[in-house]
């Protein structure tokens, strides 16, 4: 039994590496999403039918939202930000399934996702602006700001992870307490509210990721 939300339930070890329940759930979600996406896009044709048109409309909507946030073509960023949003929606909402805990309610998954965003900011910044121009951005508006700009990169990454973790952990905790105290039916409104929180947090995390990348590539003011 866990005594802290920061304490991971270890299921087994691969060599000396402990594998927690959160990691296994995350792997399961990744595998399920991969299979589901493969099945959903099986047999796509140039003359789109109803199901294909619906999926393409959703993808186009996400790409348009990315383009609006970044003030440039969103296609190069769609694989990262679109996948991030879809994964977060599924990961945040899987906690409503009996016996499954949302991996985003444990610190490992939000920390890993925030690290991916952190690395992506630098990857796209160097790739699009070039190494020299990107590194010069840390000297603006004055070279004295260099340590503060570096610190900002680190603190906002930490904040990104903790915001997602805190909201999802507290939502699961409230539902769990309500279920323990009031029985099966009373927590249903809390679960509905939890679904809303999960969707909102997925959107906020993805939007902040896009904004940070926009700052890295120079289309959004840091």
Q: Is 104 left (phi over 0), alpha (psi -120 to 50) or beta?
A: alpha
For tokens 């805190």, the residue is 166
Q: What is the CA radius of gyration of the chain?
A: 20
The residue-averaged pLDDT of 96-113 equals: 87
41-98 tens-digit pLDDT: 887 776 667 778 888 888 999 999 999 999 899 999 999 999 999 999 999 998 888 7
Instruction: Give the C-alpha separation, 220 to 212, whole Å.
Output: 8
- HEC secondary structure over 2-46: CCCCCCCCEEEEECCEEEEHHHHHHHHHHHHHHHHHHHHCCCCCC
> Is residue 99 very low, low, confident or very high in pLDDT (cuts 50, 70, 90)?
confident
pLDDT confidence band for 156 (50 / 70 / 90): very high
Q: Other CB atoms closer than 10 Å to residue 21's CB: what's the count?
A: 16
In this prediction, residue 91 carries a pLDDT of 94
> Does residue 141 or residue 48 have the better pLDDT?
141
At 139, is the pLDDT very low, low, confident or very high (cuts 50, 70, 90)?
confident
187 confidence band (pLDDT: 50, 70, 90):
low
- The whole-model pTM stands at 0.85
CB contact at 8 A, 215 and 121: yes
- Does 5 score more than 60 pLDDT? no
């Amino acid at each position: 039994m866990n005594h802290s939300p920061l304490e991971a339930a270890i299921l087994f070890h691969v060599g000396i590496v402990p594998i927690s329940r959160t990691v296994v759930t995350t792997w399961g979600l990744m595998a399920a999403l991969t299979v589901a996406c493969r099945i959903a896009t099986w047999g796509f044709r140039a003359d789109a039918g109803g199901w294909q048109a619906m999926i393409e409309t959703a993808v186009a909507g996400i790409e348009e939202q990315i383009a609006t946030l970044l003030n440039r073509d969103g296609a190069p960023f769609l694989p990262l930000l679109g996948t991030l949003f879809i994964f977060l929606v599924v990961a945040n909402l899987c906690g409503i399934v009996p016996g499954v805990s949302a991996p985003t309610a444990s610190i490992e998954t939000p920390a890993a996702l925030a690290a991916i965003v952190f690395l992506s900011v630098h990857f796209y910044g160097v790739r699009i602006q070039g190494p020299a121009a990107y590194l010069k951005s840390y000297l603006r508006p004055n070279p004295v700001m260099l340590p503060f700009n570096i610190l900002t990169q680190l603190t906002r990454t930490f904040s990104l992870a903790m915001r997602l973790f805190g909201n999802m952990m507290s939502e699961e905790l409230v539902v769990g307490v309500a279920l323990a105290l009031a029985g099966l039916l009373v927590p249903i409104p809390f679960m509905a509210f939890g679904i809303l929180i999960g969707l909102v947090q997925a959107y906020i995390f993805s939007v902040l990721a896009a904004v940070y990348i926009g700052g890295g590539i120079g289309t959004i003011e840091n």
